[in-house]
Structure 1
Amino acid sequence: MLEIRNYILEHRLVEKGDDILVGLSGGPDSVFLLYALDMFKESLGYSLHAVHVHHGIRGEEADRDMKFSEELCNNLEIPFKKVFVDAPKLAGEKGMSLEEAARILRYEAFETTRKEIEDKLTAVTGGQETENSRCLIAVAHHMDDQAETVLHNLVRGSGIRGLSGMEPKRGFIIRPLLSVKREYILSKLKDNGIPYVIDSTNLDTRYTRNHIRSEILPGLREINPEASSHIARTADILREADDFFGRLASMYVDKYAEIRNGEMTGQEGTEISLPVTELKTYPELVRQYVMIELIRRIGTPLKDWGAVHFRDMDKLIHGPGNAHLDLPYKMSADYRKKRLILRINQEIFSIKRRKNNDGASKSSDS
């Protein structure tokens, strides 16, 4: 348990006076996380809460998990909240997998509960935010989960960012268990006689993560028993590389990019441009990070961007010029006068329509 406490301190996951909200499913990982954080709360000086999300699936089994989680928190005298969501409905409406819908709703419930706790803390201090009015969300991802994430992203074709796995802390979310393996968690629960429940869907290998967990990783451990720890360590190295390339790209954009809003260009939207003559001398990886930074600077979410979009932009700047490309979030890219120009448009502006409009403009000018 000392290893977990040291990991929390090393990565500065919590501060004295924080409130920590544990996402409690009732399974072994989240139960262990709850007990571990309950053990450290006095010495590290934080308060503990728990939330359980009922996803509207698995029927009586899900009801059992919710009841178990509530009783566990009552026994430990930890404030507990249960939240009901409808994952099948969201999956049907959005055309996504049930697993993804459940994940989205679960984290929405975590964030809503976190804000409620912060609001109560702020109310106690008379509406003034203090060092004691911050609430963090603790989730139970461990080293084997990290390895699963990296392998999953690897087969999906992710770049450095995807292969860097999960961060110890991102925003209000903390992961105190990334330094320990699943077998460590299970052995501690067994040694201390701590009960937990099992979600039967975690045994269904039709889900990609379950397949990796139950078949791929065990095979890798036959090759090397420390496979999970080596994969997790590689993720740490790649996270450092991702941070380095991100900072390099930020400095490059600071030096060379120009940002103009619609009022300056006489058109709708915002525009950012960058000379590419020098940029084209750098490796493709560096060019991609610069493009990511341009997208971030213009204020566009990166969620739906894939490798194909960056490859298309790279082809654009290596072409003859005077070329156009439509991109996600009503963005467009143009390559003119040796500059890459990204714009946010009010609507998608296809190259065919662009040519027609250019022709119409020339006719009206004449």
Structure 2
Amino acid sequence: MTEDVLNWIKKEKLMTEGDTVIVGLSGGADSVALLLVLLELRQRIGYTLLAIHVEHGIRGEESRKDAAFVEELCRQKNIPCRICPVNVPDYAATEGIGVEEAARILRYECYQKAAEELKQSGAGRVSIALAHHANDNAETVLFQMARGSGVHGMCGMHPKRVLGDDILIVRPLLCVSRGQIEEYLKKCGQEYRTDGTNLDINYSRNRIRHHILPELSVINEQAVSHINQSALLLQQAVSYMEQETKKAVQTCCIGGGGAYVILENEWKQYPEIIRQEIVHEVLGKTAGSRKDLGMVHVQDVCALMEKQTGREITLPYQMTASRIYEGVRLCRRGTHKAGTGTWQEKGGCETEGAAGASQSFYEVTADDFAKLEAGETVSITLPDANVSLRLLLFSGKVDEIPKNQYTKWLNYDRIECGLQFRRRASGDYLTVDDAGHKKKLKSYFIDEKIPQIKREHIWLLAQQSHVLWVIGGRISAVCKIKEDTKKILEVRIDGGNYRED
């Protein structure tokens, strides 16, 4: 088994000479075997070993005995050991999550904290070695299939994952089975601790471990190996899909800061599987995490594309998806007037100019709107101009509206969300009259005889694909001041070529 693990480590480049390797040591069979194997290979590869035991505070005296066993084992093997006590039940109750998930989160926090401390003390690359093996991976694949996680979940565990700057999570035992591990420990004459909760079939993974996998192995004794092979093939396929999805997102998604729009026309140009991946990607961006976002949520958003404008669904992470004219808008509650507050250069959803070049944008944040409503002036610095925003009460006298080219009054009552300063993007339009008739921005540029070379450099004030103001040109009819307007958003732009005559 040791040679199998060595070949796996080399193949996947899990650790190299000079690394510090943190072993997550529970005291169970898997982690004890991992410690012994890595101890055997330490001189051959040239890394430093450190063991960390997380005492979960779940099983009382049994848990404390596990910690004592780990300390004694490490003393015998002359390996530095840290015991990290945590309170899983309290954390689970506070966060409203299951005990299993709480334990996992707190374990990873302990490992990462130790790795960061090592980095601060001058260590090179730090690899956090976890004892997951082929059976664990098969269980994960089946569990994710059962909960409907899609192809990403069915990829199972990856051999390594970047956790931070020169900090990796690695799984050296993914190449071996639980049977091989037990046989290895038997040959070594090494004892280990048994966690009674591993026998409790009220836990989903234990039910898979003790009931489902054994039945599959009756059907085919190589079931675990075959599931792992399938997961590896899926990892390769998903890696390719992710590359294609990232390209696609650039062409059919606009927004940022917790509010995005998937543009229907552009989105429908892609095959169904890429369309689903686009939605999954944008859901993750909006939520800030992909965890607990399954295929059911992806399919619900895809189905929304076929619904009438105005339909809305609720999603995890306090998200809503709304069918709008351009496609589907995703946002988290509380971000209807929120944004990034900073320039978006890469990452997130960038606007896409007609020439295909990614464009930066500034999205007015919730803090900005709060300042406006408190009577403050908000200043924004664009690359070639300065913008000031302020909120005014309207007197009802339409003749007071300024006629300046670079100062506009907009009907604040009609401004709802995602207000951005940006360049043009595919799907942009203006509302040209009170009846709601629309004109493509491209048509507006043609009608105004604006040269192609200038169109790429014109700033827009936009709300999703709806252009409220072509800066220096017309405003949308939706934002025009009416006699019943209550509040005015004054937008003034100055600097560079933006100066009043």
Shorter chain as denominator, the TM-score bin is: 0.7 to 0.9
Question: How many Å separate the matches in 2 of 1:308 and 1:167?
Answer: 24
Residue 243 of structure 1, aligned match among 239, 253, 259: 239
| Aligned residue runs from structure 1 range 15-26, under 5 A | 15-26=16-27
- Residue 273 (str. 1) matches residue 261 (str. 2): yes
**Equivalent pair of 2:319/2:333 in contact (CA under 8 Å):** yes
Structure 1 runs not aligned, ≥5 long:
123-131, 262-268, 350-356
Which structure 1 residue ranges, 4+ long, deviate > 6 Å from structure 2?
357-363
Counterpart position of 2:3: 2
Counterpart position of 1:264: none
**Equivalent pair of 1:143/1:177 in contact (CA under 8 Å):** yes
- Residue 346 (str. 1) matches residue 331 (str. 2): no
Greater shift, 111-120 or 72-81, is seen at: 111-120
Residue 141 of structure 1, aligned match among 119, 128, 132: 132
Counterpart position of 1:181: 177
**Equivalent pair of 2:160/2:170 in contact (CA under 8 Å):** yes
Counterpart position of 1:212: 208
* Alignment CA distance shift 1:24-1:277 (3 Å): same
| Aligned residue runs from structure 1 range 86-97, under 5 A | 86-97=87-98
TM-score (norm 1): 0.84
Question: Structure 1 residue 119: deviation in Å?
Answer: 1.9
TM-score (norm 2): 0.63
Question: Structure 1 residue 300: deviation in Å?
Answer: 2.6
| Aligned residue runs from structure 1 range 43-58, under 5 A | 43-58=44-59
Question: Structure 1 residue 281: deviation in Å?
Answer: 4.9
Question: Structure 1 residue 339: deviation in Å?
Answer: 3.6
**Equivalent pair of 1:143/1:178 in contact (CA under 8 Å):** yes
Deviations 1:235-260 (A, max 9, x none): 1111122212211111112344334x
Is the radius of gyration larger for structure 1 or structure 2? Answer: 2
Q: What amino acid maps onto 1:239 in structure 2?
A: Q
Counterpart position of 1:68: 69
Counterpart position of 1:35: 36
Counterpart position of 2:378: none
Matched residue SS, 1:198 = coil
* Alignment CA distance shift 1:163-1:364 (3 Å): farther
Question: Structure 1 residue 161: deviation in Å?
Answer: 0.7
Q: What amino acid maps onto 1:139 in structure 2?
A: L
Q: What amino acid maps onto 1:168 in structure 2?
A: P
Question: How many Å separate the matches in 1 of 2:331 and 2:98?
Answer: 33
Deviations 1:34-68 (A, max 9, x none): 11111112221211100011111222221211111
| Aligned residue runs from structure 1 range 143-292, under 5 A | 143-171=134-162, 172-259=168-255, 271-292=259-280
Question: How many Å separate the matches in 1 of 2:198 and 2:80?
Answer: 27
Question: How many Å separate the matches in 1 of 2:230 and 2:200?
Answer: 28
Q: What amino acid maps onto 1:9 in structure 2?
A: K
Question: How many Å separate the matches in 2 of 1:7 and 1:48?
Answer: 18
Greater shift, 233-242 or 98-107, is seen at: 98-107
Q: What amino acid maps onto 1:80 in structure 2?
A: C
- Residue 303 (str. 1) matches residue 291 (str. 2): yes
Bigger proportion of residues as strand: 2
Deviations 1:295-332 (A, max 9, x none): 45568322242333322221221223354445444544
Counterpart position of 1:353: none
Question: How many Å separate the matches in 2 of 1:154 and 1:233?
Answer: 16
* Alignment CA distance shift 1:293-1:76 (3 Å): same
Counterpart position of 1:105: 106
* Alignment CA distance shift 1:47-1:364 (3 Å): farther
Counterpart position of 1:115: 116
Structure 2 runs not aligned, ≥5 long:
163-167, 338-412, 417-477, 487-501
Matched residue SS, 2:278 = helix
* Alignment CA distance shift 1:331-1:61 (3 Å): closer
**Equivalent pair of 2:252/2:267 in contact (CA under 8 Å):** no
* Alignment CA distance shift 1:175-1:309 (3 Å): same
Deviations 1:4-31 (A, max 9, x none): 1111111111122111100001111000
Deviations 1:208-242 (A, max 9, x none): 21121112111111111111001111111111222
Q: What amino acid maps onto 2:192 in structure 1?
A: Y
Instruction: Pick 1 or 2: higher relative contact order, CA cutoff 8 A, min separation 6.
Output: 1
Counterpart position of 1:125: none
**Equivalent pair of 2:264/2:328 in contact (CA under 8 Å):** yes
* Alignment CA distance shift 1:299-1:308 (3 Å): closer
* Percent identical: 39
Matched residue SS, 1:277 = helix
Bigger proportion of residues as helix: 1
Deviations 1:125-181 (A, max 9, x none): xxxxxxx52212110000001111111111112210111111111122111100100
Matched residue SS, 2:268 = helix
Counterpart position of 1:266: none
Q: What amino acid maps onto 2:153 in structure 1?
A: G
Question: How many Å separate the matches in 1 of 2:99 and 2:320?
Answer: 33
Greater shift, 176-185 or 99-108, is seen at: 99-108
Q: What amino acid maps onto 1:227 in structure 2?
A: A
* Alignment CA distance shift 1:88-1:290 (3 Å): same
Question: How many Å separate the matches in 2 of 1:288 and 1:162?
Answer: 14
Question: Structure 1 residue 206: deviation in Å?
Answer: 2.1
Question: Structure 1 residue 201: deviation in Å?
Answer: 1.4
